[in-house]
């Protein structure tokens, strides 16, 4: 039976979020995966010549079959499959860019295990929002999937990813450092220990899980906050490293077991790399501009495609360009030098580079990590999400708040504070007269409502988040 990609995708109900196509596991049938694969590859064939397509997956229980379905579709097109098994998304993307071939990552990133997703990369990097529309509108015919192929795993992408970073630093850089790796179900959990050990560190593996754990680096749970403090004390750790499910968002803790905000980690990484110009989402901490360490900062909508879209214009004016998100994912937009050694651009979220650059900066400056953080302008962000919050309700609340921000503030209990600016680049970002920021945004990947609060002290940020969430819960 012949199927049409556009019809299958529409019927599936799967949608593109801030990065990749996301949906419930039951929506990602073999034919839905095949439809996306056919639509993606046929939509770029006029722009690129390739005979091979790479695939990798995360540790979700639904991911292997989805990867097989994508592989079957690739074979239907007469193309060869390079299968790298379970590796981080940036490892797959990096290897594919070096081979000048497209790739597909089967992952739902940090969202719950009952959901999954697909990320698509052209030979030159992440697809754009325009590419997403081309995929959704493609009318490619393909034969319905009736069987799934057996795939053989290659370790090429994993090895090259490790080499990309270990080659930049002295093999004794981390000698004497005790580093804990919170493994859970991260796609890169088998790569990180060899990577840090190759640089001289003593590695302690922490809490590997046979079940998928949806770690969200933007909304770290209280349980994980306490775990880090306990681990740091019990094992006398200098650093804790972890990631989200597909290994493109870092989660790192300092010597005290305090998790760093992703945008603060990105700031410190960019500074250590002497980056001239940055593109960052509007949700990132204003310490980025306040530290005055960069020649230019552009604010974008939330999502790596928007950050990447700014790189071309920045590269016309600056030699070194990068971006990062509030979730910590670091995007290197230009080839640059680290310790006098060349590192190639990788314009997709990556978790390892910011972690290693932070450790390198601490070693070079002979200062603890918490000291590097405290030297920045003290702007504190506190963020969280309400899960299983109907998207329609989120949109309605946001629409009302945008129409009358002052009235919204009054409803949550902040009616006596003047508003300085209102930014609707992505959601609603209100800057108050005292410098505090309230940013509301429905998730683009799941039925969740996110709130980011920035203030001069963490208690104020936490209190304002409670006011917002109390209001939202009453209107759920």
CA distances from 155 to 84, 85, 200, 202, 457 (A): 6, 8, 23, 24, 46
| Active-site residue identified among 43, 109, 185, 186 | 109
* Orientation angle between helical segments 262-272 and 352-365, nearest 10 degrees: 60
Nearest to 18 by CA among 137, 93, 126: 126
Instruction: Find the helix or strand (DSSP H, E) in which 322 lies.
Output: strand 321-324
Residues 415, 232: Cα–Cα separation, whole Å: 42
Residues 238, 200: Cα–Cα separation, whole Å: 13
Contacts of 343 (CB under 8 A, 6+ apart): 164, 168, 332, 335, 336, 337
Residue 39 near residue 5, CB atoms below 8 Å: yes
Phi, psi of 244 (to 5 degrees): -80, -170
Quick check: is 63 catalytic? Answer: no
Nearest to 336 by CA among 264, 274, 267, 266: 274
Q: Residue 306 CA to chain centroid, in angstroms?
A: 13
Residue 56 near residue 33, CB atoms below 8 Å: no
Residues 313, 316: Cα–Cα separation, whole Å: 5
Residue 229 near residue 256, CB atoms below 8 Å: yes
Active-site positions read 109
């Amino acid at each position: 039976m012949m199927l049409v990609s556009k019809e299958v995708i529409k019927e599936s109900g799967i949608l593109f979020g801030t990065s990749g196509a996301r949906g419930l596991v039951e929506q990602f049938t073999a034919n839905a995966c095949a439809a996306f694969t056919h639509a993606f590859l046929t939509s770029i064939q006029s722009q690129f010549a390739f005979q091979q397509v790479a695939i990798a997956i995360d540790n979700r229980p639904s991911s292997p079959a989805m990867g097989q379905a994508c592989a079957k579709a690739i074979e239907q097109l007469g193309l060869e499959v390079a299968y790298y098994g379970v590796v981080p998304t940036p490892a797959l993307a990096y290897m594919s860019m070096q081979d000048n071939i497209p790739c597909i990552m089967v992952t739902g990133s940090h969202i719950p295990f009952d959901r999954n997703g697909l990320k698509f990369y052209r030979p030159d990097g992440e697809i754009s929002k325009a590419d997403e529309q081309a995929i959704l509108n493609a009318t490619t015919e393909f034969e319905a999937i009736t069987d799934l192929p057996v795939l053989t795993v290659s370790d090429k992408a994993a090895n090259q990813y490790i080499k990309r970073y270990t080659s930049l630093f002295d093999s004794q850089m981390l000698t004497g450092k005790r580093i804990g790796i919170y493994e859970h179900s991260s796609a890169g959990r088998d790569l990180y220990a060899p990577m840090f050990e190759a640089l001289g560190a003593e590695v302690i593996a922490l809490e590997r899980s046979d079940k998928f754990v949806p770690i969200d680096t933007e909304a770290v749970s209280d349980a994980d906050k306490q775990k880090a403090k306990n681990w740091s004390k019990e094992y006398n750790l200098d650093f804790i490293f972890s990631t989200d499910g597909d290994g493109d968002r870092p989660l790192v803790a300092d010597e005290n077991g305090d998790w760093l905000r992703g945008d603060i980690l990105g700031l410190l990484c960019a500074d250590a790399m002497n980056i001239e110009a940055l593109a960052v989402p509007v949700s990132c901490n204003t310490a980025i501009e306040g530290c005055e360490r960069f020649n230019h900062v552009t604010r974008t909508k939330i999502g790596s495609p928007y950050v990447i879209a700014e790189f071309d214009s920045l590269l016309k004016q600056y030699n070194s360009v990068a971006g990062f998100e509030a979730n910590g994912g670091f995007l290197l937009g230009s080839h640059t030098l680290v310790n006098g050694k060349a590192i190639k651009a990788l314009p997709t979220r990556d978790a390892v580079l910011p972690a290693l650059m932070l450790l390198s900066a601490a070693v070079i400056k002979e200062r603890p990590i918490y000291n590097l953080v405290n030297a920045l302008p003290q702007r504190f962000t506190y963020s969280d999400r309400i899960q299983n919050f109907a998207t329609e309700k989120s949109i309605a609340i946001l629409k009302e708040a945008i129409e009358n921000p002052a009235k919204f503030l009054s409803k949550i209990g902040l009616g006596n504070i003047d508003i300085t600016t209102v930014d609707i680049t992505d959601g609603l970002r209100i800057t108050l007269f005292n410098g505090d920021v309230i940013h509301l945004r429905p998730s683009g990947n799941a039925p969740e409502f996110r709130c980011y609060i920035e203030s001069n002290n963490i208690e104020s940020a936490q209190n304002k988040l409670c006011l917002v969430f109390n209001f939202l819960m009453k209107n759920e």
